[in-house]
A and B are shown apart, each in its own frame.
Chain A
Amino acid sequence: MFDRPDIAKALQTYVLDTAPVMALLLDAEDRVVDANDHARRVLGAGAVGRPLAEQIVDFHHTLDVPAIIRQGDTVHQLTLNTAAGRPETFGFRFFSVSVGTLALASLDFQEQVELREQVLALNRELNNLTRQLYQANAELRELNQLKNQFLGMAAHDLRKPIGLIMTYGGFVLDEAGAQLSGEHREYLQTCLRAARGMKQLIDDFLDLAVIESGQLRLNLASATAREIIAGAEPVARLVAAKKGITLLVEEVDDTRRLRVDASKLQQVLLNLVGNAVEHSVSGQRVWLTSRWEGQNLVFAVRDEGPGITPEDQSRLFTAFGRTGQRKSAGERSTGLGLAIARLVVEAHGGRIWVESRPGHGATFLFSLPTKEEEKP
């Protein structure tokens, strides 16, 4: 029936004008000499006049295109570069005709449908995973909040008895120390040292719990770099001197002001100086400096200690991110100081980082941005 002239004409019209079928006429050298509209849209007008073999993607040069063209009874999957700039695979069938070869090609419809279904399924899954991720984050935030509340309450309740131990222990040492034997005095001093360490840990816990629960309130006021450093310098000098370290504070000559919580930043500077001193040995130096870099005020604390490996640097600013570094005199620290420093700096919209090479000391830096209204 399909060989009736009217039906054949209808099929020809549909294939050439409507269906997503490429029709290419090849001459004896397999050069494309004519193409229907669909083929010109898919392959571009430049397809006509070029050998078909040139338009086929054949990474390993294994295709014998002339032989394929002459196997008229098989569908060949061939990949062509399209006008859209991407390769597409078409099912080709070649027919020998009086003026050369007629190549008919189309995309695999079934494959396209399956591909669409797969993409839609993946998209659904991706959206569901996104939702689950947000939900899991919300649940983790709730748990973290509970943890902070617990930490805050526990730390708060522990502070009072530790305070009593330190106060009355101090009284005993001051008032009855002379009557104690050397050994008993040493016991008492060990107790007091341990109590001081515990108090420091509790204070850090409370700081961390307050910051992480989003309750950190910055008391912003106008200050210069000099004023910020001046607030931390006396205590920093004491800490350094106690271990025979020279603290060098670079004089900063500036009048530029920025809005910061100076006392919180002084806590950051003391944490950084304390950290530098912990990793230095007697006779070494620690530098505390500041400078402006464009609109950012940068503070730096440099030491001559053993330096930090790149692996340790990545963990430095996380809570309890203890590194493999050994303190120079076996000091104990809570492991929270740098994490607190990071949170305070970030609350100011700034960033904190370290520059170090093992064996060449370390420099801890933090920068604070100037807000628009503070610019001169």
Chain B
Amino acid sequence: MRGLLAHDHQTCRASFLQWLEADAGLRSTYEDLVRRSLYEVGDLWERGRISVATEHLATAISESLLNLTYPRLFAQPRNGKSAVVTCVPNEYHQIGGKMVADLFELNGWRGYFLGANCPVGDVIKLVAEKRPEVVALSAATSFNLAKVVSAATEIRAAFPDVAILVGGQAFRWGGRERVERLPGVRCLTSLGELEAWITEHGKHV
């Protein structure tokens, strides 16, 4: 956390690797280190203790650390299932969505990640091409909750059978009930809940 606020990439990298190598596991490293640190950074920004530039750089450093997991992550055996993960339109905080896609990969699924501010039309195109078991929509800021609802509605209309998961920091202060009123849509508020969902729907080969 101190490394993030000091923009000290090397310290952050060492700490991240230490967590991974200490057998904390990828999910715990993402949830208990990356996610917790970024929530704290967000709180500091909201309370005016750090600038928006520091918050942005902390996010950029954290996201670059995820790249360190990829040699191991993408060497996992596949189970033939896949997930399409994306941030809703107007949502520029993509690290949460990326961690969700990575968690699918870790559990043997193929996790396609579309990135920040993705138009729903692009999501629908990829879903038509890849035919995934699930589409996951991520939103970090609460003013994007309406975008989550409209994106989930459009995807549901195009693909009546695909499971839809939503989540992200936007749901920290509510909104779950609103989105779960849509058929076949579930809101998950932590990577732990996501891992339980993956286990329930077929983990490894």
* Bound complex: CA A197 to CA B116 (Å): 56
**Band of interface residues on A:** 10 to 19
Interface residues of B in 12-69 (CB under 8 A from A): 53, 56, 60, 63-64, 66-67
Contact check: which of A120, A131, A135 meets B60 at CB < 8 Å? A120
Contact across chains for B74 and A127 when beta carbons are under 8 A apart: no
Contact across chains for B60 and A134 when beta carbons are under 8 A apart: no
B131 within 8 A of A: no
When C-beta atoms are compared, the residue in chain B nearest to A126 turns out to be: B64
Secondary structure of the A side of the interface? helix
Contact across chains for A128 and B115 when beta carbons are under 8 A apart: yes
* Bound complex: CA A328 to CA B112 (Å): 52
Chain B nearest CB, measured from A133 CB (Å): 9
When C-beta atoms are compared, the residue in chain B nearest to A130 turns out to be: B67
* Bound complex: CA A372 to CA B178 (Å): 65
Contact across chains for A137 and B74 when beta carbons are under 8 A apart: yes
When C-beta atoms are compared, the residue in chain A nearest to B71 turns out to be: A134
Interface residues of A in 297-323 (CB under 8 A from B): none
B138 within 8 A of A: no
Contact across chains for A127 and B67 when beta carbons are under 8 A apart: yes
B107 within 8 A of A: no
* Bound complex: CA A151 to CA B60 (Å): 44
Interface residues of B in 50-103 (CB under 8 A from A): 53, 56, 60, 63-64, 66-67, 70-71, 73-75, 78, 92, 94, 98, 101
Q: Quick one: which of B53, B66, B75, B115 has the most chain A CB within 10 A?
A: B115
* Bound complex: CA A37 to CA B151 (Å): 52
Secondary structure of the B side of the interface? helix
- What is the interface size of chain B, counting residues whose CB is below 8 A from a CB of the partner? 23
Contact across chains for B113 and A131 when beta carbons are under 8 A apart: yes
Contact check: which of B74, B112, B115 meets A124 at CB < 8 Å? B115
Contacts of B60 in A (CB 8 A): 120, 123
Contact across chains for B70 and A134 when beta carbons are under 8 A apart: yes
Contact across chains for B70 and A127 when beta carbons are under 8 A apart: no
Contacts of B66 in A (CB 8 A): 127, 131
Contact check: which of A116, A125, A134 meets B56 at CB < 8 Å? A116
When C-beta atoms are compared, the residue in chain A nearest to B75 turns out to be: A138
Contact across chains for B64 and A131 when beta carbons are under 8 A apart: no
Contacts of A120 in B (CB 8 A): 56, 60
A142 within 8 A of B: yes
* Bound complex: CA A140 to CA B116 (Å): 26
**Nearest 8 pairs of A and B residues by beta carbon:** A138-B74, A134-B70, A134-B74, A128-B115, A130-B67, A127-B63, A123-B60, A120-B56
